[in-house]
Amino acid sequence: MPLANRAPTVPGPDCGKAIDSAIVTNDWTPVFLFNRAAKRAFDIVAATVGLMLFSPIFLVVSIAIKIDSRGPVFRRQMLPGYNNESIQLLTFRTTVVSLTEKRTSIVTRVGGALRRTGIDGLPQLINVLRGEMSIVGPAPPVAVLNNISAEQISLIQQRHSVKPGITGWAQVNSYCGESNEMTRQRVEFDRYYIENRSFLFDIKVILMTLFSKNAYLN
């Protein structure tokens, strides 16, 4: 369903809090430690199984990218991750390395198909296996943040208290645009996830990613 026609989705009962409200978590409670251990174990298993299952797709896509245009198979992008430390985000390359007179679009033919299907994000499973990302979490910020308030920037920085995810609460609710309004909605959904994160919440997001029509993979 197009975003312009969607009714606003409310993250939760606390969405109305001031945007600069602090996130309060008990990071050393038994419940939190269990959730963190379960989350990491699930990430390792899911990433390993995913890489094995999708290995034929990796091979086919890699060949298609090399045939379609010159350049590397993967795009490596340095982005802030957990604790604001830089991570090298891996995706399949979907754009040309340099424009020529014969090509007017920077997105390749194969790249366009990869973007429409979300397959371009599959290499992020490698990031998950390396411990740099999680299956579920706030999407790593990729856009230059212009004309947004200091409160919004502060809230965005709070997202670094957890690992970025391949999918997340904002993504499955279709808040993934780069406009100022979309960014505001996205970070509020990320805040709600951080405040209420649990292993069961992650399972809910994964099921929504797999079966919801509004799901969006990075």
| C-alpha torsion angle, residues 40, 42, 48, 53 (rounded to 10) | -150
Candidate from 12-21, 74-83, 139-148, 194-203 with smallest mean pLDDT: 12-21
Q: If you search the block for the tokens 């959904």, which residue do you land on?
A: 189
Alpha carbon separation from 20 to 51, 142, 179, 188 (Å, rounded): 39, 22, 20, 10
Task: Please check the confidence at residue 19 and state whether its pLDDT lies above 60.
Answer: no
What is Dmax (Cα atoms) for the chain? 61
Q: What is the pLDDT at residue 103?
A: 59
For the chain, the structural domain boundaries read 26-211
Q: What is the pLDDT at residue 141?
A: 67
pLDDT greater at residue 104 or residue 58: 58
pLDDT digits (tens, 9 = 90+) for 124-174: 999 999 999 999 998 876 544 544 555 566 666 666 778 999 999 988 887
Taking a C-beta distance cutoff of 8 angstroms, is the pair 61, 109 a contact? no
> Which amino acid, residue 123?
P
Beta strands in 151-199 (DSSP E): 165-167
Mean pLDDT of 30-52: 88
Q: If you search the block for the tokens 């990071």, which residue do you land on?
A: 27
pLDDT band at 84 (very low <50, low <70, confident <90, very high): confident
Q: What is the pLDDT at residue 14?
A: 46
Q: What is the pLDDT at residue 195?
A: 86
Neighbour tally for 16: CB within 10 Å: 9
pLDDT band at 3 (very low <50, low <70, confident <90, very high): very low
Mean pLDDT, the chain, whole residue set: 78
Phi-psi region of 145 (alpha: psi -120 to 50; beta: other; left: phi over 0): beta
Q: What is the pLDDT at residue 158?
A: 67
Q: What is the pLDDT at residue 184?
A: 77
